[in-house]
Structure 1
Amino acid sequence: MRILIAGSTGTVGRQIVAQLVSQGHSVRALTRNPEAVLPGAEMVVGNLTDPSTLADAFDGVEAMHLISFDGGGYQPLTTGPQIVELATRAGVKRVTVLGGKDESGVEQALHDSDLAWTVVQPVEFMGNTFSWIPAVQAGVISEPFIDRRSAMVHEADIAAVAVAALTEDGHGGQTYTVTGPEVLTVPEKVEILSKAIGREIDLVELTEAQAREKWAADGLAADIIDFLIWAYGNTPEVGYTVVSTVEDVTGKPARAFAQWCAENAPAFG
């Protein structure tokens, strides 16, 4: 079965590609970068914001994974109906989509189609911890709302759920919330990361105003800062409620944050 993966070089996409390749599937990786290479995958250049670039990508494809945002600017895709029409005409049977905070036109177009669609809806990525690298190297992490709770999820588990939905029957019409196996506060995350890298990391709590000033100085756009303040200060219940989706769908328990930290400790210097 040939499977097309959009967002193939992203945090989750490259995990999906790797897992499918390891299982022996024929993988076609869609990318905007003509120089991109992913081991074991056939690379094809195209842009989800311009469906006219996608015709060749769908040739012979039976299943596909989509993202619901522009891989360049992270804006919601407006081309969902055209992409779904191309997939339908090409004979695609199964589609997964990586869902965001709000439903996009991609999900709506899938709901309106005859395709067997599955929405994979993760909570906070463990990979967001990479944003702490400069702070960890300086020895002090500065964060607002440090008592906030998160059931953060390993990107490999998000990918594993998508892979199951792409390669197995029985997942059509489902929206899967995907979490890790535990709920952690910021101090707990810092403690786990400290143990993984073998040295202490100090934690300083910022006020909302201080956080806004810091993130602006870091170059974050105003809308991103507003989103972070909302997400951190008013985390919805779904973000800190552990569910068993990973084990239910894949048959394997969700990976813990300690495992993620052990895998990625060298990145923190």
Structure 2
Amino acid sequence: MSKILLTGATGNVGKHVANQLAGAGLDVRALVRDPSRATLPAGIEAVRGDLTVPDTLGPALKDVETVFLVWPGFSAETASAVVKAIAGRTRRIVYLSADVADLREDEQSTIFHQDVERLIRKSGLTWTFLRPCGFATNTLGWADQIRQGVVRWPYGEASRSLIHEKDIAAVAAHVLTSAGHGGAAYVLSGPERLTQAEQVRVIGEVVGREVRWEDLPPEVAREELLAAWGDATFVDGALRGWASFVTEPEKVTDTVRTLLGRPALTFRQWAEDHAADFR
């Protein structure tokens, strides 16, 4: 019994994990809400199920040894039921968590990941936690402003070590298909730090457009983000996180190189991969 179950197999990270595992000819199943609409690589079995409804997971977990779990935004109570269902049918879990030692940009999400990690530790499963720092894909939120030639955002000097989703996926695929990772918690980052203003400059250079950064006062940013996001707790946590990265830059780790034998992809490489999204 060596089947791997992927959750989030059509998401930013999961789609790359699916491609790598399918390319290796492994026995892979994907948990999807609607198999008829899921776009998956050839050779991956799609099984209907929903992590927010743990009672639906039985068929997807049949004959599975390892689960790649990606958090879709469910409650702590639901998470407990999901972990219990996985522990009852499988032996091993690789959980896409967050840098739980760093409560900054998204405090609520990080606290949730801490809670899920505790559940997994107590479950009896062999576990590995992947804890990425900031996702480079989050900068896609600037796409409309990039097209207009100026990005108005708070804390341009906030220094981040953003990671390419392909690197997260490559580490996940490596851990899913090799031994020796039980009980490991891997903090993943990009290979360098760039301020938010520098990230915008790099994107502009890649797409061939001069893009200017304009620092938005935090109080103005709060009102705009509150109107867009609607959650004051989330907005305030994000603003505190970005402010902290000005004086305490995000960490840089060598985990990608250690595990994969190559350096992590740079932010410029990420921007080149996503240039069409900014044009």
TM-score of the superposition, structure 2-length normalised? 0.88
User: What is the 5 A alignment of 1:3-152?
Assistant: 3-34=4-35, 35-40=37-42, 41-67=44-70, 69=71, 71=72, 74-90=73-89, 92-100=90-98, 101-102=110-111, 103-152=113-162
Look up the SS of the partner of 2:201 in the other structure.
helix
Cα-to-partner distance string for 1:27-54 (whole Å, 9 max, x where unaligned): 2111234422212222222121221000
1:77 to 1:165, Cα distance in 2 relative to 1, 3 A: farther
Contact 2:164 2:266 survives alignment (8 Å): yes
Question: Are the structure 2 counterparts of residues 206 and 236 from structure 1 closer, same or farther at C-alpha, using a change threshold of 3 Å?
Answer: closer
Give the CA deviation at 1:236.
9.7
Return the alpha-carbon distance in structure 2 between the equivalents of residues 28 and 52 of structure 1. Answer: 18
1: CA distance, partners of 2:197 / 2:242? 14
1:173 aligns with one of 180, 183, 189: 183
Deviation at 1:222, TM superposition (A): 2.2
- Residues 79-88 or 254-263, more deviating: 79-88
Cα distance in structure 1, aligned partners of 2:127 and 2:179 = 11
Q: 1:58 to 1:236 in 2, by over 3 A?
A: farther
TM-aligned CA distance change 1:2 to 1:233, over 3 Å? same
- For the residues of structure 2 that align with 1:51 and 1:244, how far apart are their CA atoms? 36
The secondary structure found in structure 2 opposite 1:44 is strand
Residue 134 of structure 1 and its aligned partner are, at CA, apart by: 0.7
Between 181-190 and 24-33, report the one with greater CA deviation: 24-33
Structure 1 spans left out of the alignment, 5+ residues = none
Q: Which amino acid aligns with 2:10?
A: T
Letter in 2 for 1:118: T
Which residue identity lines up with residue 83 of structure 1 in the other structure?
Answer: V
1:176 deviates by 0.6
Q: Say whether the 8 Å CA contact 1:124–1:239 is kept in structure 2.
A: no
Contact 2:143/2:277 (<8 A) preserved: yes
CA distance change for structure 1 residues 236 and 93 in 2, over 3 Å: closer, same or farther? Answer: farther
Q: CA RMSD in A?
A: 2.0
Structure 2 gap ranges (5+): 99-109
User: What SS does the aligned partner of 2:174 have?
Assistant: helix
Give, as a single letter, the amino acid of the residue that structure 1 aligns with 2:215.
E
Deviates more, 1:13-22 or 1:114-123: 13-22
Letter in 1 for 2:86: A
Once the two structures are superposed, residues 141-186 of structure 1 have per-residue CA deviations (whole angstroms, 9 ceiling, x without a partner) of: 0110111110110011111111122111110101110000001101
Aligned pairs, number: 264
SS at match of 2:168: helix
What is the deviation of 1:220?
4.2
Q: 1:46 to 1:114 in 2, by over 3 A?
A: same
Per-residue deviation, 1:245 = 0.6
Give the conservation status (yes or no) of the 8 Å contact 1:123–1:239.
Answer: no
**Percent identity of paired positions between Structure 1 and Structure 2:** 35
Using the TM superposition, give the Cα deviation of residue 78 of structure 1 relative to its aligned residue in structure 2, in angstroms: 2.5
Q: Distance in 1 between matches of 2:269 and 2:58?
A: 40
* Residues 214 and 245 of structure 1, relative CA distance in 2, 3 Å threshold: same
Say whether the 8 Å CA contact 2:155–2:246 is kept in structure 1. no
Summarize the Cα distance change of 1:237–1:109 in structure 2 as closer, same or farther, 3 Å threshold.
farther
